[in-house]
Structure formats: C-alpha cells, structure tokens
Amino acid sequence: MARSGKSKGTPGKARLWLMRALKAGIVAAVAGIFAIIVAVVIAYQSLPSYESLKSSPNGQMIRVHAADGSVIVSLGPSFGRWLSYDQIPAVMVDAMVSTEDRRFYHHPGVDPIGMGRAAWVALENRGKGRRWQGASTITQQVTRNIFLNNSYSWGRKVREVILALALERKFSKRQILELYLNKVYFGGGAYGIDAASRKFFGHPAAALSLPEAAIIAGLVKAPSSYSPTADAEAAIGRAGVVLDLMQDNGVISPAERAAIDLNDVKMAPEPPQNSVRYFTDWALPQLDILVDEPNEPLEVYTTIDLGMQKAATAAIQANAPAGAQGALVSVDRDGAVRAMVGGLDYVSSNYNRATTATRQPGSAWKIFVYMAALESGYTPDTGVTDSPVTINGWSPRNSSGRYSGEIDIRTAFAYSINTVAAKLGVEVGFPTVADMARRFGVTTPINTHPSMVLGTSDVRLIDMTRAFASIARKGVAVTPYGITKVTTADGRLLYQHQDDTSRVLVAPWVAAGMTDLMQTAVSTGTGKAAQIGRPVAGKTGTTSSNKDGWFLGFSSGITTGVWMGRDDARAVGVLQGGRAPARAFADFMKVAVARRPVEQFETQVTLPEWQLEPDEEAYYGQPDNGLMVDENGLPLDAGQQPPPLEETEPSEEDEGMSQARPVRPAPPRLDQQWIDQVLGRDRQRPPPQQQPR
C-alpha cells in the first residue's frame, strides 16, 4: 500500500513544478515585455525630430574646389536631391519593399517571422562563422544607418530592435520609407536613390524606370559586388532576382516581368580620371595634419588653376619624347601650386613623378654651386678659367671637348661649363654646396663627392621647383602648398593658410645675382628654347646618357619645373634639358602668364663672353654634363669616352637646336656682330675681372 501511495504522489509533484515554471515563465515574459515597453518609451522620447533625421550625416564627404571655387572632385559619400515620398517613383518603392522587407506594411518595426527564420538558419550554421541573415526590416536598417553601426553583436541587435519599435511608433511607414530611400548606401559613394540614379544612369531618380529601379534595389544587399560600374553583369543578374521577387509579391504581373530586358538599360559612363587627380592625391592627405574633423562634411579649397592644369597636361603630352614620361610642377610666388602633372596619363599610371620620383638633376643642380659661390664673394662678372681640372682622380670635361680659357661666371653658367662648376665646388667646399641645397628645400640624400656639383644626387621635381621659386622670391623661403582653406558644409572655418615670409635663405643680392645668371642662360645659353617673349630666368639639366631632361625657371611670379625621362631610367636619345623640357616649359608658361603683367627682373640681361660658342646641350644634342664618370657618378678610366649618340635626321622643330649634326652645316660663329643683330642692341663689354685670391 505504501508503494502505491508513493506512486500516486509523484505526478502531483511534477504538476506542481510545471505550474511553478509556467508561472515563472509568465512573470518573466511580463517583466520582459514591460522592460521592452519601458525601453521603447525611453527611446521614443529620445528620438530626434524627422527634420533632424533627414539632415543627419551618412559619413564624411569631402568636396575639393579649384582656385576659382568650382568643384573638381568629390570624395566619400555623394548625395543627390532629397525626394519626398510623393516624389519617389512607385516602382522604386515596390522594388525596395519586395526585395528588402516584403512584410514591411504589416509588422511593427521588427518581423517575428523573419527573425524566427534567421534564428533557425543561425542554429543550423552554428560554429561555421556565418552571420545572421534575413532578420533586419527596413525600419531596422534605418535605425542602424542613422544611430548604430554594422557590428554583429547581441547588444547592438537588441538596441536596433528597441529603436526600430520606437521609430515605428513615432513616424509613419511613408516617412520611414522616405528616410530609407534617401539615405541607404548603393555603392560607388552614392547615398540615396537620387545620387545612385544620377551616378549609374545619368538622370534624377524621379525619372527611374522599372528595370532601373530593379537594378538600384538590388545593390543594397552587396553594393560593392553588384555595382554597375564595378560589374555590370552581376548588377543585371541581381536585378533579375529583384524582378522575380516583385512578381512573387504581386506588384508586377508575369507579363510585365517577361517584357523587361535588363540588357537594354543604358548605364552612364564613368567620368574619366584626368591629371588633376595627381594634385588631389598629393594635397588631400595633408588634411590629417591641417584639421581635426573626422565626421562633418568638408569643403576643401585648393590652389589649383584648371586653365593652367589643362595647359600643363597638354605641354607635357605634346613634348615628351616617345617612350618617355613627363612631369610638371608650377607654383605661384607664395608657393601656391597652380598646376601639377605627374605623368602622361593618370588612368594608365597614377604614380606621381612630380612629387615622388627621385632622379638626377644634371646641371640644374648648378644653381646651388653658383649660389654658394655668389654668397662667398663671387659676382656674375668675376673672372674664372675654363681649363682641365682633376679632383681626387675625377676629371670632368666639357661636352664640347674644348676649353675656353679666361671667361666670367656669367658665361660659365650660361653655357653650363662643367670644369668651372667643379672648380667652384672645390673653392667653396662640397659640404657648402650640399648645405645650400638643404637650405632651399632639397629633402633627398645628398652626397659630397666632387661629381655632386654636376647633379649626381637624386632629387624630386617639386623640391627643385621650390628652390627656384625661393630664388624668384629674392631669397625668401617658398613652401609649396595646395590647400588654402577648409570649412564645414555650413561654412565654419577650420583652417586658413597663412603665408610665412620669415625664413630668409640667402641675402637678396645673392638671389639677384643668381637671377642674373639664369636670365643669360635663357637669353643666349642652353635654355633658349624656354623663351616666351617676356623676361625668363631658368636653367637646363641633362644627365649622362640622356636619362633625364630638366628645365626649371620663372617669369612674372610663376615658377615652373619640368622633368622628362623613362621610368626604367633607360637612355632617351633625343632627350636634353634644352630641348623637349624647355619647349614644354615655354608652351605652358605662355598660357600661365598670359593674363599677368610683364615683370622685369631687378637685374637686366647681360651678354656672356662673345667668343664662346654655346654648350653642346643646346646645339649638338649631347648631355650638358659630359663628365668622365659612369652611370653611378664614378670616374671612367683615363681615355675612356662616353658613347656617342645616334645620329638622326633633323626635323623642323630642331632648327637652331641641332645645327652641328652631320646633316647640317656648322653653326655660325657667335661674334659680337651676330649677338647685336639677334638682340637688336649695342653693348660694350667690360673686360672680365679676376676674383682676388
């Protein structure tokens, strides 16, 4: 009997525990529901107004302006016109709802059916590292885009659910759809359907057709994978899925679906990348230093002059020898970069040769040698001797193979006499020359071997242009800059460039003397091809074996540097600084200074020694530093000569630049009568003075 009583008591205890568990579950559920209600009420009260949500940022957008204020490039998110719900095409609404949230009009902000399906998928794939999929409603996506982030965590998901429920209580379905369609990301930097429509189809979203709407709706799932600009075939395939979903949802008929051929949709072509991107790629990274604003949209105003940029691109493309690249940097008197070309074509090569590449400058480096000499007491009229010289086993020679004896500093610079540059280097000291280059902004390593006076240290074009600009500014340091000011979208000033004139690199008379020498180099020396019909001061540079050609100079407040050569540093047979780079300089500068008044230099052009013929860089097509060194600047064995250049047939553009080739008669002797005739002036030359020792 006892056993029978015990058996009867067991079911009673089980029912008791079951009732207790049920009651606890009900209490927990009620408490949970109450907690959710409280959380939703609190979230509801903290939600901003609808107008505030419309203006909330989708991410930091940067609009870059040229010097004239026009927008040249937009980076980061791009935004189209805000469309009200009534302005949004019905096919766009239907496509998005069918694809992203087919029960949108029937749930309270979260979809229990979708969440259950997602939980089941997550359970089946536990341990496989796969994320939840299919659980987020359009309302949840709006809350995530505006208030949260895309991290996959339980805490973020709970906040998302609470905010979605609150959002549905505060705003209508139409308002939520309007927010969603104007703020969701569609790839390619486009936020909102109007930006996406303009980017991918070239027209406003109000004119979207059904197949176009299907393509845009299909982008939300994976904007980078289905973007028409990245993979048109994938975008069309995904759009077909969207149309099928619209048919299943009953918003289009099977006949309408069958009548659509997505291959007939015309995509807007991607705007071509142009050379101004060389400039923006250089300037925009500086924002990290200039401003501390990671969220608000920025308006960046730059120094680039689009007219000059176009002329610079044309000048490089028109003059660069076949197989060679070219680069150009042009700065205003305060350092404002007005044009920057880093190569022949940005699309095929975005490597910026103007700011990144390091190459030997050849005789363009001599400005540092001669400035050091001027600072130590030489003048343009100081007498020097062009004669053989050997320095620690290194014997430079003039490319003409001749020595002119007693000449002056002006003549030696105008015709790029190598022996004189070597002697000046010994006189002032090679470390002094290196220090002068450092003062004027050369940031690359500088060697102090004797051959350094002829430009055997690698430099950047922008650094050399900076040095010439500082000479043009009478010895005051110039620092190239590209950003004039930065503001927020509402006009709040974050940064304003200030010109610094406090750093004086050399005395004004040293800079004036250097300008004197460079005027002569352009007027009658190696840089004649750079003449533009107004005062120009500049210097050519050509490295051994014709691997690099340079011309740098200034006129009317604009300083421009040009480099040409091959990326693989192979020789270019027709490349000399006095030819293609000088012609590119002239072509550009004629446009750059056309609207500027003619500015005379403080020193007038003075003719060099009349009895000396120009260096072969200008007339014979030889490097202007024909020194007895190998490609690495090391001395050649005695008697070893650089290899001769190939002879080529002359062209019309070579008139006056290659007269000593075998197919042309010898150049006329540059006597005083010839000079007076060319320049239309008479001049009495004083005898050269000897520098006291």
pLDDT band at 673 (very low <50, low <70, confident <90, very high): low
| Paired tokens of 610 | 């009349």
How many angstroms separate the most distant Cα atoms in the chain? 147
336: three-class secondary structure by DSSP: strand
Q: Which pLDDT band, with edges at 50, 70 and 90, does 334 fall under?
A: very high
- pLDDT for position 269: 72
Average pLDDT for 364-392: 95
CA distance 109 to 129: 27
| 179-200 confidence digits (pLDDT tens) | 889 888 887 778 888 888 888 8
**In the predicted structure, residue 212 carries a pLDDT above the cut 50:** yes
Predicted confidence (pLDDT) per residue in 282-308, tens digit: 999 999 899 988 777 789 999 999 999
CB atoms within 10 A of CB 455: 30
pLDDT for 628: 41
Tokens of 233: 């075939």
Cβ-based neighbour number of residue 135 at 10 Å? 21
Residue 497 above 70 pLDDT?
yes
Q: Are strands 483-488 and 298-302 parallel, antiparallel or unpaired?
A: antiparallel
DSSP β-bridge partners for residue 504: 476
Torsion of CA 662, 664, 670, 676, to 10 degrees: -170
β partners of residue 331: 337, 559
DSSP string for residues in 461-501 = HHHHHHHHHHHHTTTB----B-EEEEEETT--EEEE-----
Residue 685: what pLDDT? Answer: 44
> Over the stretch 508-528, which tens digit does the pLDDT of each residue have?
999 999 999 999 999 988 899
pLDDT at 538: 97
Q: Which tens digit of pLDDT belongs to each residue from 434-484?
A: 999 999 999 999 999 999 999 999 999 999 999 999 999 999 999 999 999
Mean pLDDT of the chain: 81
User: Side chain identity at 320, as an amino acid letter?
Assistant: A
The answer for residues whose C-beta is within 8 angstroms of residue 20's C-beta and 6 or more apart is none
Average pLDDT over residues 383-390: 94
How many residues in total does the chain contain?
Answer: 693
Distance, CA of 231 to chain centre: 26
Q: From CA 397, how far away is CA 623, in angstroms rounded?
A: 11
Distance CA 397, CA 676 (A): 30
Q: Is the pLDDT of residue 132 over 80?
A: no
Residue with tokens 């004797």: 450
Q: How confident is the model at residue 574 (pLDDT cuts 50, 70, 90)?
A: confident
- Angle between the 430-439 and 418-428 helix axes, to the nearest 10 degrees? 90
Amino acid identity of residue 543, one-letter, is T
Which segment of 122-131, 563-572, 593-602 scores lowest on mean pLDDT? 122-131
Domains assigned to the chain: 50-124+132-264 (1.10.3810.10), 309-609 (3.40.710.10)
Number of helices (H) and strands (E) in the chain: give both, helices first.
24, 15
Higher confidence at residue 150 or residue 324? 324
Structure tokens at 647: 């002879």
Q: Higher-confidence residue: 592 or 81?
A: 592
Question: Among residues 593, 471, 591, 616, which one has the least CA distance to residue 540?
Answer: 616
Q: How far apart are CA 442 and CA 463, in angstroms?
A: 5
Rounded CA-CA distance 67/88 in Å is 37
- Contact between 535 and 507 under an 8 Å Cβ cutoff? The reply is no
* SS3 state at 292: coil
669 has a pLDDT exceeding 80: no
Nearest to 365 by CA among 290, 287, 459, 450: 459
Q: What is the pLDDT of residue 612?
A: 45
Higher pLDDT, 413 or 33: 413
Q: Which burial class, exposed, middle or buried, applies to 557 when counting CB atoms under 10 A from its CB (0-12, 13-18, 19+)?
A: middle
Nearest Cα neighbor of 537 from 476, 467, 477 is 467
